[in-house]
Structure formats: structure tokens, C-alpha cells
Structure 1
Amino acid sequence: MTDKLPDAEIIKRESDYLRGTIAEGLDDPATGAISETDTKLTKFHGTYLQDDRDLRDERRRQKLEPLYMFMVRLRLPGGVLSPAQWLGLDAIADECANHSLRLTTRQTFQFHGVFKHHMRTLMRRLHALGLDTKGACGDDNRNVIANVNPHLSTLQERIYRLSTEISERLMWRSGAYAEIWLGEKRVQSLGGDEEEEPFYRHYYLPRKFKIALAIPPENDCDVLANDIGLIAIVEDGELAGFNVAVGGGMGMTYGNEATYPRLAEVVGFVPAERSVDACEAIAAIQRDHGCRTDRAHARFKYTLDDHGLEWFLERFADYHGTSMEAAREYRFTHNGDRFGWVEGENGNRHLTLMIQSGRIADFDDYPLRTALREIAKVHGGEFRVTCNQNLMIANVTPEQQESIQALVREYGLDDGSRSTPLGRNAMSCVAFPTCGLAMAESERYLPSLLDELDALMNKHGLTDTPVNVRVTGCPNGCARPFLAEIGLTGKAIGKYNLYVGGDERGQRLNRLYRENIDTATILETLDPMLERYASERQADEGFGDFLVRAGIVDTERTPEVFHKSYSA
């Protein structure tokens, strides 16, 4: 019965296919906000209503409403855009947002600080660039992400094309987007669900749904953190198909033991030509069988844990029309980005740049945004966003490489002093001041944390040793902290839960080690671990692998176990 459904489900079902009263709310000059109901619906349109939390108290004292603004996220499957699109996004940042761009851990862009009266202008500018924000948020299929493997040019292009095909297949179809944002007139549907939303119907998915494609041996997209992970199987130099992993997801809720991070499990193999159909079938299983009465239990990982993998494989055969084949051999060795210039098999060159926390702006001593704008003016290839918040200047011809490199040198984009091995492997979410879910700092905290951690690394002779560090302001896991060798999730202002023991391949969850601790305690806890790692590690052994081998992290226990104390 619908009266037993949570508000979010009722809102979707009664929204007239995601229209609600969003258009009327945008036209209301009396407030910078829109209604709470419409705020839930705009997520499907790729935007969240936020406010500046740094200014809340002052505005309250002045008897002003919060400084409302929107975050807008693009749908950008595979993370690829042209130089012309880059320049267009750069201009939008000035005209409609807060003069910055942010690369996300889902291989796309976010604008921050977009006031309500700029929203339609921004969306129309995106449309003119051939871009949109459909499904970048909300209870639907999110941005489809894929490995960035520039040295495998032909295979990389095939994987990218498949990511766009999956995204298009699972994109919602309602005319609401064009009507609200682009000013198109509504054409009244007579066919109901079948015409408005042939896949999602009027109820959409129970919760968000994420898909990733990886090309072993690299796993820079953390493929097992997704609801569907497609792991490319290459045979005789050709893409044979994909091992299919299902049920990954990072988010959890503090104090609710029924919620937990989970790695996807490999359940079989599908041929390349059936991979898009397979994704649609799996999403349909979640659409029809996912929990809709408890949003904390509505992710696909819980559907699988409720029913079991045997049940899933039976449903897959029914929905897909063909059973999965047996999974094939593969091996991951690495889940971070490769920086610097790489030559692809087609002879073109690709430069990956480290972008701390994905924030692209002109800083006081580092005109990063200006530099990338100047590169976009002369670049003849494309830009590729990585799943680790970094940026690749891709498909640079040999003839053009020196002109690009000259700009890189001029603006100090390859200045090694700006990052360390620790920094190049670090990620953070936005958190304060705009994310309403944040309990602690993340993006603004990361630089000082890295300085402190680098000092510890130097103390133990580990200066050149990469360790994976990820920080989020809450346990929702946007920067995938539960896969990090060192992961922090915000608990309160200045306090974090410390997780350790993930691996550098994205194949092992870390474990909760200390709870609700400040920076000093974080450093005191990690200090003896790093000391032992420096003296006892084996050749090429990662920090997380050492912690497991040395018994400091017990992988036999569930990931949420709280280790009361460190024992040498």
C-alpha cells in the first residue's frame, strides 16, 4: 500500500514524471529556495539545493533565510569532453556559478554556488554544449564511469562507447527536463508509463544505482564499489566481454548495523555485444525487487543480501533471456592514476595531471583554471576526467605535444613540489560549507592532513612511498573511503572515524580502527603502524597489505568492527 511507503517514494509516484512544481518554484522571487518536495525531485535533474553553512548563524541573527544555492552535476559517461565543451564549462563557472569547477569521483563535473535565478541559464548553456544533467543524482542510474587507460587506445575507445550506450539506455525519458529547463512545451502523453518512462515507469528506482567498467590489470574506477561492475576480458587482443560483479556500494549510516559498505561479487560473464542488455536486465531486477519501504535498506547490495546470489542469477536469466556464462580469469594490480605523459598504441600522447580534491580554480599562487583554459584553446584532442578527481589531456598528437607541454611548464602544472606520492593518491568529498550531510570538514581539511601525514612518512623514511588516503565528511562514502589504505569519515567537527587496511587494487574493504578521534589522535595511531611498515614490509608490499599480514587489521571480522586499541 502506498500509505506505507516513505515520503520519497510517494513524491516520485505523484510527481507527474519528475515535474512536480519545480518550474513554479524557480519563478518564485520571494525565496532563494524551492519546496522540500521539489528539492527531492530536482536530484533527478542533477541538482541539489544547498546553502552556505558557514553563513547560517550570521544570517539567522540578521533574520535572513539561509543563503540558498544549487549544486549542479553533469551526466558525462566515461568522463570525456571536447576542448570546446571545456571552454563552455569554464565560461559557465563565471556566469552562473562560483568561479570554479570540481571534478568528482564519478568522473564528471560539479558546479557550486549556483543561485536560483541562474539555474535555467546554466542548464540551457549546458544543452548548447551538447551536455545535460539527467540522472546525475536521484533514484536512477547515475553517471556511468570507466577506466582511463590511454596506452590501450583502441580498447579504451570501445569501453568509452559502451559507457555512453549504457548511460543512454538507462537514462530517464520524461519530457520534464526539456520543459522545466529548456522552455519546451509539453506534449501531453496518452500512453502513460509506456510513453513517458518505458523503463522506470512512474516509480523509478528504489535508490541510486551505479555502474562502472574496468580494464584489468588497472582498476582506477574502483569497479567493485558499484552496483554493477563490468570487468573487461580481453582475448587474442579483442574485447570478448565482461565479468559481471554485482552488489557494491560504499554508503552506511552511523549507529545502524543493518547498513554497511559492500564490495560487488563477480557472478559470471557476458559477451561484449550483450553487455548493455545485461545492465538493463540487472537494473530492472533492482527496480522490481528492491526495497521501497525503508530507504536505508533500498540499495541493490541489500536486495542481493536479502535474496541471495542464486536467486539473482535465476532472475537474471529470466530478465535477460540468457544465463550468465562462467566468470573468466582476470587480475587487478593498481587502482590509482598514472601521472605524466603516456604514449598510446595509436601514437598519440596523454598527460594526466593531479588536481587536489578535483577543485579547478585560480588559487593565489597557482592559476590552475587559467592554465587549463589556455590549454583548451590550443588542444586538438579531448579532456578525460579520471575517477580519482584528476584530469587527462588526451589524444595529443606528437606534433602538438611540445606546445601543450610549454603551457604546462609556464603555469607550473608539472611542478613536483605541489604534491607528494601521498597527495597524488588522496581524495576527498566537498563537505563543508555546502553539503548538507557533512558532519566534518573534508576538502578544506585534506591539505593540512596531508602535510601532517607527509611529515610522518618522512620521519619513517617513506617519503617516496604511495599510500592511498581518502577523506569524507560523513559516512556516505562519496570519495570511497572504505576502500582506502587510510580512510577517514567525518563524525563531528574536528572528529573522524579512522579506517585502515584497504589494498591498492580496490579489492578489499578496510576496517574501522578508531572512532570519533581528532587529528592528533589520528597521527598518534598511525605513527607506530608506519614505523613497523618501514622496517618490516616486504618488497613491493603496500601499507594496507602489510597491516593485514602483520595482524594489525583482522580481515576475518566484519568491516564495521571497532578495534578498541592498537596492539603491536
Structure 2
Amino acid sequence: MSEPKLSANERIKSHSQHLRGTIKQGLATDVTGAFSEDDQQLIKFHGFYQQDDRDLRNERKEQKLEPLYSFMLRARVPGGVCTPQQWLEVDRIASELTTSNSIRLTTRQTFQYHGIPKRNLKTIIQGLDRKALDSIAACGDVNRNVMCNPNPVQSKLHQQAYYWAKKLSDHMLPHTKAYAEIWLDDEKLLSTETEAEPLYGDTYLPRKFKMAVAVPPDNDVDVYTNDFGLIAIAENDELVGFNLVAGGGMGSTHGEMETFPRLADDFGFIRAEDTIKFAEAVMTLQRDWGNRSNRKRARLKYTIVDRGFAAFKAAVENRAGVKFQPKREVVIGDRGDCYGWAKGVDNQWHLTLFIEGGRIKDLPGKTLQTGLREIAKIHQGDFRMTANQNIIIAGVADAAKQQIEDLARQHGLLGEVISASRGHSIACVALPTCPLAMAEAERYFPEFMDKIEALQQKHRIAEQPIVVRMTGCPNGCARPFAAEIGLVGKAPGRYNLYLGASFEGTRLNKMYRENIQEAEILSELDRLFARYAVERNAGEHFGDFVVRVGVIKAVLDAARDFHD
């Protein structure tokens, strides 16, 4: 029997000379604002995507102009932690070198820029490098930005968890010098020198790979939605190890039943000192076993389903040279952020600010970008981006607390009342820049949440947080399949409505209605909220309620239940 034909991306990677391709030549070409088709895949490994303004696409076509190409660049910021000095450079770049003049906080605890002309890419990457930031491996078929609970209260435990997030991020970086050669003007390899990728090999991974570190009871990083997750286990406030979970992932394809989102499996407890061994074992197994013929089935979740959990677990133990211990019992709780001031055990103050849609931009009456810039000028602690697209001003001394609060209020960063549901909800970028988007998300989501809040007020359930998430397509960047109410774009103005995930992020949702418009969505939720208000049990979350009363079946096994 012949081997399945490899996907086009595998050819591109194998011929790329470790991610170089013809990127350098394309960067020097001013005839077009785009890169070649092959290089468009390779630049992802360097941290950016080629996009165009879809609002202007038809108009430019009529004028016989090429699309208005620009680039989205995403940084690698393990655990979302950066210094005020780094933030000031991030802000300067957004203001001077992008057409969006804004910073976008992502659902993976980093920031990205939209609207970068090709001519500015190198200048931006060099500017970030001067402040010890980079974009290598922020995208592409490699390990992406490693998430970590930003825990501003338990400072010692946060530092211990963050240590492993940073160590994993650095350890899993590609070894190629292509990034330094192309963007930082580093010396090229001599023709006699060889270059190897000890972890990735010449063709890297079959698809992207995502890692997260959670610190119970918080699950703000949505640990079960990741390819590889670590749930911190502490004894007497000291980190002793992790429960390891693997095989999560949100992406699927409309109408293709062999694709589905999935939550990670629990593999067992590992000691902290064995973390790298197990991470390497899981990732290299995916490198060797993953599907390189069909990219829609190339994530680790499908490898585990196809090979079987028991076989995969045994292979991980064999490669790591260590066996899993029984998983430790932990409580997984809230996925939201705690807004406002909180005092940590180290007597430092931490201010969590709500950033709707993660978009940091100056608007009339809400000069968010200026406000964070002014805070960064005086702040002596750090900034922590959260997985809910918000930001924490962390490590504030008593003496600086009032000045930072005054600046936050002055610039519209603080003082607005945020509903329980809005504070737990997120959306992806979608239109006009994302080439995969089928419907609006970020631009429409605030208006949609106004209507959700009105329905909750109508039925007197406004105090109840409901996790609502919206994406413009089924790739799942805002983790919609792990939302109590998930909306996934199907066409302009039309969404699939998903219900039934758990509030804590330990159960997926399932499609309830397909391809419906706003009026139908709100009508369905109006009816369900009315039932929920009357029939819910004490303390019962909305996602659990719709499963209990039979509105939707629980998804216990994604491969079997998600499309059933």
C-alpha cells in the first residue's frame, strides 16, 4: 500500500532551508506588497501572516489594483509578562509603524499588530529585539506562545509556574538561524556549516502546537483546550509538580464530520523536575506520528484519537523514561479575570483592567493606549496580559497605587461597570483583516453583548456570569467550543449557535442551531433564559442547566458526540 501524499506545506517546509525560503528576496521587492505563495506559509514561523483589507477588496479590484496587503505580526511573550520599558516600545511601534495605530491583546497572552506595510516589518522586528522581545515561533507549525496563569495574588506560586512556562517556551524554540539572518542582519551560515533542528527536524511539526500552565482553582488559560497542558500542584505553597493533560484543540471545519474540537485527556501527575522530559516526549511523538497528509486532521488531538489514548500514553512514558503517577485531585474553577485592585501575599497591589476585545486604541472619551503609555512611564512592576484579552498592572507599591488609579480613571481604563457575562467573554479579530473570517466578531461583539445583557436583565439573571464567545470562523481562536454560549461565523451576519459547555472549561458545547441570524439567536436565548431563571438549581451555571434539562446533549467524547 502506497504512503499517503504529503500536504503542500510539507513540501514547502522541506525545501525551505530551515524556514528561509525566498523571504529575504521578497522583502526587498517593492513591486508588490505581498510575498510569494510559498513564503506566505514560511513567514508564519517568523511570527506574521499576510492579510489584506477585505472591506476594500472589491473596490480595489474594480480599480485594477492588487489587494491592500498588510501583515499581522504576533509576538512571543511567555506567560504574557513584559516590563513597562518593553510596553513603551510596543506602544511606540504600534503608533509609528502600523496603519491600525493600535495594539491587540490576544487570547494567548500576547499582543499583535495589524496593518503593517511590508516595508516596516524588519524595522518592527528589530525594534522589538532591542527590548528583548521577538516573534519567532509565534505562529507556524511549531510550539506557539506558552500561556501561564497570571495569578497576581499568590506571587510565589505564580513565579514558580511562570518559570516553567518561560523554560518551556525557550526550550521549544526552533534552532534555525533564519530569523536572525533575515530580520536582525546576523551573519549567514557559511556554505560549509550545517544546521540541525534537534527537536523539530527538517519539516517541523505537522501543525501548530499549544501549551499552557494553569494554577488551580483558576482556569483562565483554558488549559484543557491546549495540545499540552500543565495543572500546577502545590504543597505548602510550593510547586511540586503538575497534572499533565494533552490532546486539546479548538479548530474544526464546517460540514466536515471528521474534524472536531476536543478537550485534553488527563495523563497523570509528573514531578516538576521531569517537565521538560514529558514535554519533549509529547511534542516529538506528535512530530513523528502526526498526520502530514491532511492538515485538517494534523493536530495532536487527532493523533491521540487515531492511535488510542493507552498507546499514546505508553509511548510518552517510554520516550520520557519516566512513568506517570496517578493524577492529583484539584478543583478547576473560574476562567474569568478578577477586575480592579487585589493585594497579593507580597503586599504588592495588582490592577486588572478590562479591555473589550483586547483592542488597545485611543477613542473619544476612552484613550486606552495613551493611558497605558502614561502608566508604563511611572510603573515599577510588570504588565501581564491575560488569556481573556485583558491586562494587569502588577506589582504596584502602596505609594504608587493612587497615581496609577488616577491615570487609569482619567483615560477610561477604570470606572466602567462591567457585567458578569461581558467580563467572562471574548471574541476573535475576524473581519476585515482575517482571511479566514466568514462573519464579524470583534467589531460586532460589543453590540451583541449589549443585547445579551438586556436579556439577562429582563429575566433577572444579570448577576449570573455566562461565558459567551464569538469567532468569525470555526478555527476557534477565541475558544468558542468551550463557551457556555458559542457563536461561530458561517456567513456574513450568520452564525452557528453552540450550547452546553461547562462554566469551568471541562466540557465542550454542541451545535444547537445552524446558520442563523441575530434575531433568531436572541429569540432562542430569550426563551432559554426564561427557563433558566425559573428552573435552575441553586448555583447551577447556564451550560450545566441546558444539559441537565435536555436542551442539548453533553459532549463526553468529542469524536463520538460533537457531531451526533
Q: What's the TM-score once normalised by structure 1's chain length?
A: 0.96
Cα deviation for residue 189 of structure 1 reads: 6.6
Q: Partner of 1:96 in structure 2?
A: 97
Moved more, 1-10 or 348-357: 1-10
Which residue of structure 2 lines up, in the alignment, with residue 30 of structure 1? 31
> 2 CA distance for matches of 1:317 and 1:3?
29
SS in 1 for 2:450: helix
> Structure 1 residue 433 and structure 2 residue 432: aligned?
yes
Query: Which residue number in structure 2 is paired with residue 262 of structure 1?
Result: 262
Query: What is the CA-CA distance between 1:539 and the residue it aligns to?
Result: 2.1
Which residue is 1:372 aligned to? 372
Q: How does 1:513-524 map to 2 (within 5 A)?
A: 513-524=512-523
- What is the match of residue 423 of structure 2? 424
Offset at 1:2?
A: 9.1
- Which residue does 2:451 correspond to in 1? 452
Indicate the residue corresponding to 1:242 in structure 2: 242
**Does residue 6 of structure 1 match 2:1?**
no
User: Map of 1:454-469 to 2, 5 A cutoff?
Assistant: 454-469=453-468
- Kindly indicate whether residue 162 of structure 2 is the aligned counterpart of residue 183 of structure 1: no
Task: Tell me which moved more, 491-500 or 329-338.
Answer: 329-338
The answer to whether the 8 Å contact 1:189/1:196 transfers is: no
3-state SS of paired residue (2:56)? helix
1-structure distance, mates of 2:409, 2:361 = 18
Displacement after TM superposition at 1:421 (Å):
2.0
Answer whether contact 2:253 2:259 (CA < 8 A) is retained.
Answer: yes
- Counterparts of residues 211-250 of structure 1 (less than 5 Å): 211-250=211-250
| SS of match in other structure, 2:512 | strand
Answer whether contact 1:70 1:115 (CA < 8 A) is retained: yes
Q: Render the CA deviation track for 1:206-263: whole Å, top value 9, x for unaligned.
A: 0000011101111000000001110111123221100111100000001111100000
1:74 matched to 2:75? The reply is: yes
Q: Structure 1 stretch 312-321 or stretch 14-23: which is displaced more?
A: 312-321
Q: Paired residue for 2:168?
A: 166
> Which residue number in structure 2 is paired with residue 105 of structure 1?
107
Three-state SS of the structure 1 residue aligned to 2:24 is: helix
Question: SS state of the match for residue 376, structure 1?
Answer: helix
Confirm or deny: 8 A CA contact 1:77 1:163 kept in the other structure: yes
SS in 2 for 1:400: helix
Residues 458/60 of structure 1: CA separation in 2 closer, same or farther (3 Å cut): same
Query: What's 2:126 paired with?
Result: 124
| Contact kept in structure 1, 2:482 and 2:502, CA below 8 Å | yes
Letter in 2 for 1:434: T
Distance in structure 2 (CA, Å) of the matches to 1:390 and 1:540: 27
Alignment check: 8 A CA contact 1:56 1:67 kept: yes
Paired AA for residue 77 in structure 2: L
Residue 336 of structure 1 and its aligned partner are, at CA, apart by 1.1
**How many Å separate the matches in 1 of 2:433 and 2:66?**
15
State the alpha-carbon separation in 1 of the partners of residues 6 and 89 from structure 2: 42
Q: Cα offset for 1:410? A: 1.8
Which whole-Å deviations, capped at 9, do the CAs of 1:403-429 have from their partners, x for residues lacking one? 111112222322224x32222111000
CA contact (8 A) 1:513 1:562 kept: no
- Distance (Å, rounded) in 2 between the aligned partners of 1:477 and 1:225: 10
Quick one: distance in 2 between partners of 1:2 and 1:258?
A: 20
Q: SS at 1:421's partner residue? A: coil
* CA-based RMSD: 1.5
Deviations 1:9-68 (A, max 9, x none): 010011000000000001001000010100000000010000000000000011000000
**Residue 483 in structure 1 maps to residue 485 in structure 2:** no
Distance across 1 between alignment mates of 2:14 and 2:264: 30
Q: Which moved more, 1:270-279 or 1:489-498?
A: 270-279
8 Å CA contact retained: 2:149, 2:220? yes
Could you tell me the percent identity over the aligned residues?
Answer: 50
**Is 1:546 aligned to residue 548 of structure 2?**
no
CA displacement at 1:558 relative to structure 2: 6.3
CA distance in 1, matches of 2:95, 2:236: 49
Q: Take 1:410 and 1:470, find their aligned partners in 2: how far apart are those partners?
A: 29
Note closer, same or farther for the CA distance 1:459–1:3 as it changes in structure 2 (3 Å cut): closer
SS of equivalent residue, structure 1 residue 54: coil
2:546 is aligned with what amino acid?
A: L
- Output the CA distance in 2 between the equivalents of 1:3 and 1:288: 15
1:382 partner amino acid = D
Q: Which amino acid aligns with 1:530?
A: F
Q: Structure 2: 5+ residue runs without aligned partners?
A: none
Is the Cα–Cα contact under 8 Å of residues 335 and 424 in structure 2 kept in the other structure? no
Residue type of the alignment partner of 1:401: K
Which letter does structure 2 place at the counterpart of 1:334? D
User: Aligned residues, how many?
Assistant: 560
Deviating more after overlay: 178-187 vs 107-116: 178-187
> TM-score when scaled to structure 2?
0.97
Q: Which moved more, 1:482-491 or 1:306-315?
A: 306-315
Given that residues 161 and 239 in structure 2 are in contact (C-alpha distance below 8 angstroms), is that contact kept between their aligned partners in structure 1?
A: no
Aligned-partner Cα distance in 1 for 2:333–2:562: 27
Q: Structure 1 residue 397 and structure 2 residue 397: aligned?
A: yes
Q: CA deviation at 1:191?
A: 6.2
**2:517 and 2:11 mapped to 1: Cα distance?**
41
Does the CA-based 8 Å contact 1:421-1:463 persist in structure 2? yes
Structure 1: which 4+ aligned runs deviate by more than 6 Å? none
Would the aligned equivalents of 1:497 and 1:514 in 2 still touch at CA under 8 Å?
yes
3-state SS of paired residue (1:60): helix
Kept in 2, the 8 Å contact 1:289–1:303? The answer is yes
1:152 aligns with 2:154: yes
Q: 1:78 to 1:401 in 2, by over 3 A?
A: same
Tell me what 1:349 maps to: 349
* Structure 1 position 198, deviation (Å): 1.8
Displacement of 1:332: 0.7
Letter in 2 for 1:157: Q
Partner AA of 1:429 in structure 2: C
Kept in 2: contact 1:471–1:481 (CA 8 A): yes
C-alpha distance after superposition, 1:497-542 (max 9, x if no partner): 0001112211010111000000000001111110111122222221
On the 8 A contact 2:507/2:556 being kept in 1, the answer is no
Q: Is the 8 A contact 2:49 2:71 kept in 1?
A: yes
